[in-house]
């Protein structure tokens, strides 16, 4: 197909914007409090609603694309995402902003699996497909890195809504380019969507993610967390049970009998679980410990994200020499090494020593996620590419939520354990978080304030040390699992690699 690289460019532009949109909101939160008067609870929902809607509908939308056409669903999603972005930018109240963020999540769920499934159907030659997915993965990583930079630049000159309004012209470009370039593809034997499966999938995934997020705030033993967690697991178990009894399931559970498919999904979930700690730690470390501005912090992390694009491109070539399991294990080992370095960070930073570590980690991330995403798509039939892509993306969302909740708890617990308050300073607000300690310091005399700030920053860095060591150990374990679990997967995966493959 002459235009396949143009198709890839459109898919990459769409996924770049989605990744960017996940990160720019955090910088705008202080402005939201000032302009809309949002409460702390409303801020949580503003931040979480997008992810809830996105994760809950990925499986459904991936299947819908297989049925009605991936191009059609992508174009519908582009229109919806652009419109929801405009509503979000001009939302006059926190309630309307929460609703608009939910619409953004729904639109995002149509776009993410559509881009991957279009790549799967356009690039049929194995080596080219791997390279294309590498570029796609790299653009996704670049979006996470560029988001804070773009957000910082916009917020320095415009109001908070500008971080969402930028989506409109980009999605317009995706829409026009998609109409002109993208081919249509669908599953010719797809049946009707099962409403019960859709309901079970959405409520199960959203309930589990809600329980994970609440566990980070209330603790895993809280009644709300336990009830939500049990309910979510039961709903997902019912969903899986129902899929085994449908002629046209949302997810063909036989795919999980394929070792390459299951090992790749599990490795991705565990890897993003571990790597989410970096996003959590650095957002606070660079701004609250080093005192850098949001723009400076974003620029500092940019090389790591851009090197992820390089790793994605290199993955296809390295597969020829190391095999698929070797490339994934190498990428995860590079990340483990980076976290060992993060365990040496202090309250002062030599950025030029940190820079090569960020680049190594970014490249490792690109290597691992490129090969795993290619494994998931290549071992599923092309007719079910949307459903397979949705499984991969859902694992990514679940892993990220788990990582922030669990590793965030490790970080916070270590901070509290190491915080040595100066004499005469009340400890409740200071022990809650580093941000709480810095706010509390503004109400103290200068000498006490300086002591509290230094103590809190030192305790937070101690928390980084422990969290980094735990993360490094986990990544090393996942690298070993990938080396074994993906052993024997061909360097170039042909159609229907295993006998008895669903069609």
Three-state SS annotation for 325-366 = HHHHHHHHHHHHHHHHHHCCCCCCCCHHHHHHHHHHHHHHHH
* Overall number of domains in the chain: 3
Residues 110 and 162 in one domain: yes
- The answer on pLDDT for 503 being more than 50 is no
* Residue keyed to tokens 């229907």: 496
20-29, 100-109, 404-413, 440-449: least confident range:
20-29
Question: To the nearest whole percent, how much of the chain has pLDDT over 90?
Answer: 10
Residues 134 and 156 in one domain: yes
Residue 498: predicted pLDDT: 42
Q: Is 88 exposed, middle or buried (0-12, 13-18, 19+ CB in 10 A)?
A: buried
Range of the domain at 208: 194-249
Q: Which of 217, 12, 37 is nearest to 114 (CA)?
A: 12
Residues 128 and 214 in one domain: no
369 versus 429: which is more confidently predicted? Answer: 369
- The answer on pLDDT for 475 being more than 60 is yes
Instruction: Give the residue-averaged pLDDT of 7-21.
Output: 83
Other Cβ atoms within 10 Å of 476 Cβ, number: 19
For the stretch 214-254, pLDDT in tens is 776 677 778 888 888 899 899 989 988 888 887 778 777 77
Residue 58: predicted pLDDT: 82
Residue 427: predicted pLDDT: 64
Residue 139's domain is classified under what CATH number?
1.20.1250.20
For the stretch 94-152, pLDDT in tens is 888 888 888 988 898 888 888 888 888 788 777 777 788 888 877 777 777 777 778 77
- The answer on pLDDT for 424 being more than 70 is no
For the stretch 375-394, pLDDT in tens is 887 777 766 766 777 777 77
Domain end among 211, 227, 249: 249
Residues 145 and 200 in one domain: no
Residue 30's pLDDT band (cuts 50, 70, 90): low
Residues 138 and 26 in one domain: yes
Q: How far apart are CA 129 and CA 117, in angstroms?
A: 11
Which residues lie below 8 Å from residue 330, measured CB to CB, with a gap of 6+? 318, 322, 364, 367, 479
State the chain's mean pLDDT as an integer: 81
Residue 89's pLDDT band (cuts 50, 70, 90): confident
On whether the CB atoms of residues 238 and 244 are closer than 8 A, the answer is: no
Residues 102 and 150 in one domain: yes
Distance in Å from the first CA to the final CA of the chain: 24
Residue 355: predicted pLDDT: 93
Phi and psi, residue 188, nearest 5°:
-70, -15
Residue 406: predicted pLDDT: 77
Tell me, letter by letter, the H, E, C secondary structure of 265-295: HHHHHHHHHHHHHHHHHHHHHHHHHCCCCHH
The four Cα atoms 468, 469, 471, 475 give a dihedral, to 10 degrees, of: 130
Full-model pTM: 0.79
Residues 452 and 382 in one domain: yes
Cα 10–Cα 13–Cα 16 angle in degrees, nearest 5: 150
Domain end among 249, 274, 292: 249
316 versus 32: which is more confidently predicted? Answer: 316
181 versus 333: which is more confidently predicted? Answer: 333
Instruction: Give the residue-averaged pLDDT of 66-87.
Output: 88
Domain end among 170, 190, 210: 190
Residues 223 and 319 in one domain: no
Residues 331 and 435 in one domain: yes
Give the number of C-alpha atoms closer than 13 A to the C-alpha of residue 284, restricted to the C-beta side.
22
494 versus 167: which is more confidently predicted? Answer: 167
Q: How far apart are CA 243 and CA 298, in angstroms?
A: 43
| Centroid of chain to Cα 274 | 12
Residues 244 and 261 in one domain: no
Residue 425: predicted pLDDT: 66
Angle, helix 4-36 to helix 167-181, in steps of 10 degrees: 160
DSSP 78-147: HHHHHHHHHHHHT--SHHHHHHHHHHHHHHHHHHHHHHHHHHHHH--SHHHHHHHHHHHHHHHHHHHHHH
32-41, 174-183, 471-480: least confident range:
32-41
- The answer on pLDDT for 338 being more than 90 is yes
Residues 202 and 185 in one domain: no
Give the DSSP letter of residue 183: P
- The answer on pLDDT for 443 being more than 80 is no
Other Cβ atoms within 10 Å of 169 Cβ, number: 10
Q: How far apart are CA 364 and CA 87, in angstroms?
A: 38
Residues 373 and 392 in one domain: yes
On whether the CB atoms of residues 149 and 299 are closer than 8 A, the answer is: yes
Q: How far apart are CA 20 and CA 428, in angstroms?
A: 35
Give the number of C-alpha atoms closer than 13 A to the C-alpha of residue 461, restricted to the C-beta side.
18
* Residue keyed to tokens 């049925």: 67
Quote the tokens at residue 118.
Answer: 């279009």
- The answer on pLDDT for 495 being more than 60 is no
On whether the CB atoms of residues 43 and 97 are closer than 8 A, the answer is: no
* Residue keyed to tokens 């080219």: 128
Cα 15–Cα 19–Cα 21 angle in degrees, nearest 5: 115
Instruction: Give the residue-averaged pLDDT of 285-291.
Output: 83
Residue 80: predicted pLDDT: 92
Cα 133–Cα 370–Cα 342 angle in degrees, nearest 5: 140
């Amino acid at each position: 197909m002459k235009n396949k690289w143009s198709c890839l460019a459109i898919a990459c532009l769409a996924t770049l914007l989605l990744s960017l949109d996940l990160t720019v909101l955090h910088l705008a939160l202080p402005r939201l409090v000032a302009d809309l008067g949002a409460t702390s609870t409303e801020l949580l929902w503003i931040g979480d609603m997008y992810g809830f809607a996105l994760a809950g509908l990925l499986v459904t939308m991936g299947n819908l694309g297989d049925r009605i056409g991936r191009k059609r669903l992508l174009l519908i999603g582009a229109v919806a995402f652009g419109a929801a972005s405009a509503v979000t930018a001009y939302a006059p109240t926190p309630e309307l902003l929460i609703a608009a963020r939910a619409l953004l999540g729904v639109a995002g769920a149509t776009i993410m699996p559509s881009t991957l499934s279009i790549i799967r159907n356009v690039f049929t030659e194995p080596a080219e497909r791997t390279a294309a997915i590498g570029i796609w993965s790299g653009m996704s990583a670049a979006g996470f890195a560029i988001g804070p930079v773009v957000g910082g630049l916009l917020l320095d000159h415009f109001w908070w809504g500008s971080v969402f309004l930028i989506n409109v012209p980009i999605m317009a470009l995706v829409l026009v380019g998609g109409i002109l370039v993208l081919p249509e593809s669908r599953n010719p034997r797809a049946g009707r969507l099962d409403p019960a499966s859709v309901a079970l999938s959405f409520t199960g995934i959203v309930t589990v993610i809600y329980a994970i997020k609440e566990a980070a705030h209330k603790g895993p033993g809280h009644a709300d967390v336990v009830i939500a967690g049990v309910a979510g697991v039961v709903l997902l178990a019912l969903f899986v049970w129902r899929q085994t009894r449908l002629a046209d399931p949302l997810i063909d559970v036989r795919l999980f009998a394929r070792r390459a498919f299951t090992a790749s999904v599990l490795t991705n979930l565990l890897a993003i679980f571990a790597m989410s700690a970096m996003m959590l730690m650095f957002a606070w470390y660079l701004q609250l410990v080093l005192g850098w501005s949001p723009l400076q912090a974003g620029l500092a992390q940019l090389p790591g994200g851009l090197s992820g694009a390089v790793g994605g491109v290199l993955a296809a070539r390295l597969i020829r020499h190391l095999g698929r399991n070797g490339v994934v294990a190498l990428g995860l080992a590079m990340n483990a090494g980076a976290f060992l370095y993060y365990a040496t960070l202090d309250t002062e930073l030599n950025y030029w020593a940190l820079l090569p570590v960020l680049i190594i980690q970014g490249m490792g991330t690109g290597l691992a996620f490129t090969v795993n995403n290619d494994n998931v798509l290549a071992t599923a039939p092309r007719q079910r590419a949307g459903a397979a892509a949705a499984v991969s993306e859902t694992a990514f969302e679940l892993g990220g939520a788990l990582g922030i909740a669990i590793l965030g708890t490790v970080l916070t617990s270590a901070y509290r354990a190491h915080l040595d308050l100066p004499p005469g300073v009340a400890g409740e607000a200071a022990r809650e978080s580093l941000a709480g300690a810095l706010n509390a310091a503004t109400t103290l005399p200068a000498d006490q304030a300086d002591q509290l700030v230094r103590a809190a920053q030192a305790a937070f860095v101690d928390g980084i040390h422990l969290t980094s060591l735990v993360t490094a150990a986990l990544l090393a374990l996942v690298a070993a699992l990938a080396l074994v679990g993906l052993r024997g997967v061909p360097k170039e995966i042909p159609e229907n690699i295993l006998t008895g493959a669903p069609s």
